[in-house]
Structure 1
Amino acid sequence: MELEECRREIDKLDRELTDILERRMKLVAQVAEYKKIHHMEIYDPRREQQVLDKIAGLAGHKALAPYLRNIYQCIMDESKNYEREHMDR
């Protein structure tokens, strides 16, 4: 595959990922509302570890699992920031 073709495919995937991440963040806002109402902490280390383990297990190419875990850690860190913003309102 040529470089430009690879880049076009990456651009297409980036659009899809952006849509999925926006949908995920909308759900994060709902989680924040629930946690606020029920006086729950934002950070749940056990849940976070479960998600990271699940993602590593879903990796079709096991060599990519550590990279996917890192990506998901960033996603969850930003989700926690977004939750804080919603809970502070």
Structure 2
Amino acid sequence: MNELENCRKEIDEIDQQLIELFERRMNVAAKVAEYKAENNLPIYNGERESQVISNNVHRLKDDRYEILARRFFIGIMELSRELQKEVIKRLK
């Protein structure tokens, strides 16, 4: 196997882990939506989202990825909000 094939194999393994973690995160986001619906809380909490993004960006070991990590978590937060909207809509 050449270097490119080895890298692709490693990426495939990482992607498998990422999708498992993504699904786990979305399951928890759905529970958050249920709580928010029961307690009449808004879906969007800008302060919380900023905190989550900042905390995760600060976990980076390589600062070169800061902008990409920030974009990654912004995307995850957007997807979480979309899911929460769907969950709350189904609960009504």
TM-score normalised to the size of structure 1? 0.97
What are the residue-to-residue correspondences of 1:20-31 with 2, within 5 Å?
A: 20-31=21-32
RMSD, matched Cα: 0.9
Give SS of 1:43's match: coil
**2: CA distance, partners of 1:79 / 1:49:** 14
Counterpart in 2 of 1:44? 45
**2:65 maps to what in 1?**
64
Deviation at 1:55, TM superposition (A): 1.2
**Alpha-carbon deviation of 1:12?**
0.3
After TM superposition, give the deviation of residue 15 of structure 1 in Å.
0.3
Identity of matched residues, %: 36
Deviations along 1:50-74, one digit per CA (max 9) or x if unpaired, are 0111011001101111110100100
Q: Unaligned regions of 5+ residues in structure 2, if any?
A: none
Residue matched to 1:2:
3
Q: Deviations over 1:32-61 (max 9, x none)?
A: 000000000000000000011101100110
Gaps in structure 1 of 5+ consecutive residues: none
Give the Cα–Cα distance (whole angstroms) in 2 for the partners of residues 69 and 28 of structure 1.
19
Give the superposition deviation at 1:3.
Answer: 0.5
Q: Comparing both chains, which one has the higher relative contact order based on Cα–Cα distances under 8 Å and sequence gaps of 6 or more?
A: 2
Q: Deviations over 1:7-44 (max 9, x none)?
A: 00000000000000100000000000000000000000
